[in-house]
Amino acid sequence: MDIIGFGLEGKGAVVAGAGAVPGRAGHGPATCLRLAAAGATVACIDIDEGRAKEVVAAVQDSGGRAFPVVADLTRRDQVERAVEEAAAGLPSIDACVDIIGGARWDRAADFSVEDWDWTVLNNLTQVFFVFQTVGRRMIEQGTGGSLVALASVDGIAAAAMHAPYGAAKAGVISLVKTFSQEMGKYGIRANAVAPGAVGTGNEDWPEGTWSGDSVNPLAPPRTRDIANAALFLCSSLAERISGQTLVVDGGASTRELWGMNDDLLPQFRSGQYGQAQFGRVEG
Ligand X SMILES: NC(=O)c1ccc[n+]([C@@H]2O[C@H](COP(=O)([O-])OP(=O)(O)OC[C@H]3O[C@@H](n4cnc5c(N)ncnc54)[C@H](O)[C@@H]3O)[C@@H](O)[C@H]2O)c1
Q: What is the CA radius of gyration of the chain?
A: 20
Decide: is 68 part of the binding site for ligand X (CB under 6 A): no
For position 73 contacting ligand X by CB under 6 A, the verdict is yes
Task: Report the amino acid identity of residue 9.
Answer: E
Position closest to ligand X via CB: 101
Q: Which of 15, 40, 87, 198 binds ligand X (CB under 6 A)?
A: 198
Interaction between residue 74 and ligand X (CB under 6 A): yes
CB 81 within 8 A of CB 21: no
Please list, in sequence order, all residues whose beta carbon lies within 8 angstroms of the beta carbon of residue 18, skipping any fewer than 6 positions away: 28, 29, 31, 32, 42, 44, 45, 46, 51, 52, 55, 99
Q: Please check whether residue 28 is in contact with residue 99, taking contact to mean a CB–CB distance below 8 angstroms.
A: yes
Nearer to ligand X, 26 or 243 (CB): 26
Among residues 37, 39, 72, 218, which is the contact residue for ligand X, using CB under 6 A? 72
Beta strands in the chain (DSSP E): 12-16, 41-46, 65-70, 95-98, 145-150, 188-195, 245-248
Binding mask 125-164 for ligand X (x = CB under 6 A): -------------------------x-x------------
> Total residues at the site for ligand X (CB under 6 A)?
26
Output the smallest distance, CB 149 to ligand X, in A: 8
For 217-252, give the DSSP string. Answer: SS-PPPHHHHHHHHHHHHSGGGTT--S-EEEESTTG
Closer to ligand X at the Cβ: 184 or 199? 199
Say how many C-beta atoms besides its own lie within 10 A of residue 88's C-beta.
10
What is the footprint of ligand X within residues 14-33 (CB under 6 A)?
17, 19-21, 24-28
Least distance CB 193 / ligand X (angstroms): 8
The packing angle between helices 223-234 and 27-37, to 10°, is 50
Task: Report in angstroms how near the CB of residue 150 gets to ligand X at its nearest.
Answer: 4
Nearer Cβ to ligand X (7/155): 155
206: helix, strand or coil: coil
Asked if 106 interacts with ligand X (CB under 6 A), we say no
Q: Which stretch binds ligand X (CB under 6 A): 56-64, 100-108, 238-246, 265-273?
A: 100-108
Whether 43 and 14 have beta carbons less than 8 Å apart is answered as yes
Q: Just list the catalytic residues.
A: 165
User: Quick one: 27 or 34, whose CB is closer to ligand X?
Assistant: 27
CB of 252 to ligand X, least distance (A): 11
Instruction: Give residues with Cβ within 8 angstroms of 62, minimum separation 6.
Output: 33, 36, 37
x/- letters, 158..197, toward ligand X (CB under 6 A) = -------------------------------------x-x
DSSP code at position 124: I
Site of interaction with ligand X (CB under 6 A)? 17, 19-21, 24-28, 46-48, 51, 72-74, 99-102, 150, 152, 195, 197-199
